[in-house]
Structure 1
Amino acid sequence: MPIVYLPAEPVVPAPEPVVPGSPVGSPPRVTWTSAAGQEVPLSDIGQGYAVLEGARGLAMPTYQLYQSDSLLDGTVIRGTRTEAREVFLPIYLEAPTRPEVLAKRRALAQAFSPTEADGGGNGVLEVAESTGQRRWIRARYVSGMDGPEGGGDTGMDWATYGLNLLAAQPYWERTPVTVRWALEPVTDTWLPILPVEVRDSGVVGQGMTIRNPGSVRGWPVWTITGPLSGTATMRNVSTGAELEFTATLAAGEQIIIDTRPRHKTVRDHTGANRFSDLALGSVLWPLAPGANTVDIILTGLGTGSLLEMALTPWELTA
């Protein structure tokens, strides 16, 4: 039976509105959300918080260069590695009375607690511009709320702290993008006036353009929903990387291929490990920044077959 191929259409949230209470051109809104979900408006002086001058770690990350020296002048750069990101936030807090400022300080300490056993852990630091642009990074408190007391650092109803955070994943994240390809049987010899195209039922797409809107490589999570029978090939023509696996899926069954660093899994809808179904030499490849030419060939498709790609774009700066 012929298959109607619906070209990729990004499914993304509507454009974000201007940050409430922040006229265009005003400073960004900085928010910390703790591991337990507690939100702290670090830049809202109306709630007794402000981010002071001198914040660091919001722009480029730090890189480690691998180099080889020889008797020749100079050196040879063999590669680079992005190090964990260190973020420094100078924070001011105040309250009408001494007991209230102490309570606010204790609440701030609890929100930044880095220890899972104490209900803490990684939190999310978000920087939202007045234009609606949002970037966030997952980080953990290291130091900065240990004093000193008095002098120019604390008062009866106010305090300042230089918070040091560490982000193990050094890139800022953006709103995730989802792209879906649906396959449906043709029910009428007269094709409707839609952006559809009849293709061989074994080919989802060859020479497709998939765009990564981030400024660094992005790692997709692919979900294939059956029916599917045979070999699946997913090739990034732009980078030369390819993955291939063999699977049989009944209608509604799924394979989820997670290419993200420190995840790297291939599982089915039950959670079972299907990594052994990958062909020898397969690579769980990323998308380069910008446009990528991608071939995806799936065999044994039918009514209800679906391919989905979820991507969280990464950025070098907030």
Structure 2
Amino acid sequence: MGISYATPYTPPQPAVSPWTRTKMTWTAKGVTWPLTDPASGLFLMPGVRGLGSVTTERHATTSPAVAGSRHEGISVLDRSVFWPVHIYHDEGSEAWIKRDRAFWEGMDPGDTGVWTIFHPGGGVTRSLRLRFRDDGDHTVTYDPARYGWQTYGINFVAERPHWEGNPVVASWKNPDYLPFFETTGPHLFNISSGADIQLATIDNPGDAESFASWFIDGEASEAAVGINGDVAHVPFPVPAGKCLVIESDPDRIGAIQYDVSPAQLELDQDERKKPSERIIGVDLINPVDRTADLGEADFPPIPPGAKVKLSLSLEGTGTVEARLPTLYRRPW
């Protein structure tokens, strides 16, 4: 009688599904709530509105001599958002009331929260900043504390109608300074070229024009930032160890100069946070408003497209960094 040996049968691994659920969150008053996880005790039900494209109004002119109308442009209208939200708790009346109360503390019409959608695969998000409007004159038909659940219809308006995606961050500096010694003396001069600055471009992958936040990280004796020759000049120096933050968005336009915190300056150059990553009040301290010193600054938006040519200049060894929000008509 013979005995044969063989490799044990290994069943194939089950196929990994290419499908997944969309993850959404709501952040208000410093608290983040999952919106698509029923196990959390709070989730969105069918009937959500606000996930479509922007709504526009067409502007046109007519003439008796021309058939139809002439397109003159569009305006993007407010985005209304509606959430059917279900809140429940299985551990009793007191636990349900605490959860319900905590969620509604974020529904403050005098404040805003952020609705975020996470794209499959991770790393990519789009978000809307929302302001609570009302609960649709909510009607209670049973005692929610008795049953531990309640469904609400919540109305919001977006502060801006476009969805904001991951920002584009880019930085530029002059090439390393080249030492030059006079032939007749020991005087050292620094000769720099602005080649890198002069060739600066940025990508705007969004659907709409966007205004950048500019960070001028000293040392810079003077600088200018803009696009297509339309620039804002910085007519004052930004010393080493300081950072000038220029907001070009018309809603919050201004220029604040900060000290970079000693904790950041003590790190090696490659370990420091990027200027756009620094936290105000922690990494950027001692703010000084320099808005008036910019004079009549004009900050043009950056249109959508790849390798949009910028108009930058920088005198010194510092850097210029741009943080550009990306704006989309739809959430994915």
TM value normalised by structure 2:
0.71
Post-superposition offset of 1:97: 5.7
Q: Distance in 2 between matches of 1:108 and 1:251?
A: 45
Q: Distance in 2 between matches of 1:84 and 1:313?
A: 18
2:77 equivalent in structure 1 = 83
1:266 equivalent in structure 2 = 255
8 A Cα contact 1:203 1:296, kept in partner:
no
**Equivalences for residues 102-181 of structure 1 within 5 A:** 102-115=97-110, 121-132=111-122, 133-144=124-135, 146-150=137-141, 156-181=147-172
Post-superposition offset of 1:24: 5.0
1:293 equivalent in structure 2 = 309
Matched to 1:295, the amino acid is: S
**Equivalences for residues 3-152 of structure 1 within 5 A:** 25-34=19-28, 36-71=29-64, 72-96=66-90, 99=93, 100-115=95-110, 121-132=111-122, 133-144=124-135, 146-150=137-141
Q: Distance in 1 between matches of 2:239 and 2:162?
A: 38
Q: Distance in 1 between matches of 2:164 and 2:34?
A: 19
Of 133-142 and 88-97, more deviation after overlay is shown by: 88-97
Which one scores higher on RCO, CA 8 angstroms, separation ≥ 6?
Answer: 1
1:277 equivalent in structure 2 = 294
Q: Distance in 1 between matches of 2:72 and 2:81?
A: 28
Tell me the alpha carbon deviations over residues 121-147 of structure 1, each in whole angstroms, 9 at most, x when there is no partner.
Answer: 101111123322321111111112642
8 A Cα contact 1:154 1:160, kept in partner:
no
Post-superposition offset of 1:245: 4.1
Secondary structure in 2 aligned to 1:247? coil
Gaps of at least 5 residues in structure 2 are: 1-16, 181-190, 259-286
Matched to 1:105, the amino acid is: D
Secondary structure in 1 aligned to 2:200? strand
1:209 equivalent in structure 2 = 201
Matched to 1:315, the amino acid is: Y
Matched to 2:321, the amino acid is: E
8 A Cα contact 1:268 1:274, kept in partner:
no
Q: Distance in 2 between matches of 1:224 and 1:52?
A: 46
8 A Cα contact 1:24 1:131, kept in partner:
no
Larger radius of gyration: 2
8 A Cα contact 1:98 1:157, kept in partner:
yes
State the percentage of identical aligned residues. Answer: 25
Q: State the aligned residue count.
A: 271
1:255 equivalent in structure 2 = 244
Gaps of at least 5 residues in structure 1 are: 1-22, 116-120, 189-198
Matched to 2:328, the amino acid is: E
8 A Cα contact 2:226 2:299, kept in partner:
no
Q: Distance in 1 between matches of 2:197 and 2:48?
A: 46
Q: Distance in 2 between matches of 1:50 and 1:254?
A: 42
Tell me the alpha carbon deviations over residues 17-47 of structure 1, each in whole angstroms, 9 at most, x when there is no partner.
Answer: xxxxxx752221221111x212222221112
Q: Distance in 1 between matches of 2:196 and 2:126?
A: 33
Q: Distance in 2 between matches of 1:89 and 1:314?
A: 22
The one of 299, 302, 306 aligned to 2:319:
306
Change (3 A) 1:103 1:204: same
TM value normalised by structure 1:
0.74
Change (3 A) 1:68 1:155: farther
Change (3 A) 1:158 1:79: same
Q: Distance in 2 between matches of 1:154 and 1:147?
A: 16
Task: Kindly report the root-mean-square deviation, in angstroms, between the aligned alpha carbons of the 2 structures.
Answer: 3.0
Matched to 2:249, the amino acid is: R
Q: Distance in 2 between matches of 1:123 and 1:234?
A: 31
8 A Cα contact 1:267 1:275, kept in partner:
no
Of 91-100 and 124-133, more deviation after overlay is shown by: 91-100
Q: Distance in 2 between matches of 1:263 and 1:167?
A: 17
Change (3 A) 1:47 1:277: closer
